[in-house]
Amino acid sequence: METAFIHTPLGVAKLIGDSNGLSEIKVTDAEETITTKIPQNLKIAAEQLQQYFAGTRNNFDFNLNPKGTDFQKRVWEALLLIPYGKTVSYMDLSKTLGDVKAIRAVAAANGKNPLWIVVPCHRVIGSDGSLTGYAGGLHRKKWLLDHENPVKQQSLF
Supply the residues annotated as catalytic. 121
Burial class (CB in 10 A: 0-12, 13-18, 19+), 132: middle
Residue (of 112, 116, 125, 134) closest to 8 by Cα position = 116
Dmax over CA atoms of the chain, in Å, equals 55
Measure the CA–CA gap between 99 and 106, rounded to whole angstroms.
Answer: 9
The DSSP bridge pattern shows strands 2-8 and 11-18 to be antiparallel
**CB contact at 8 A, 24 and 115:** yes
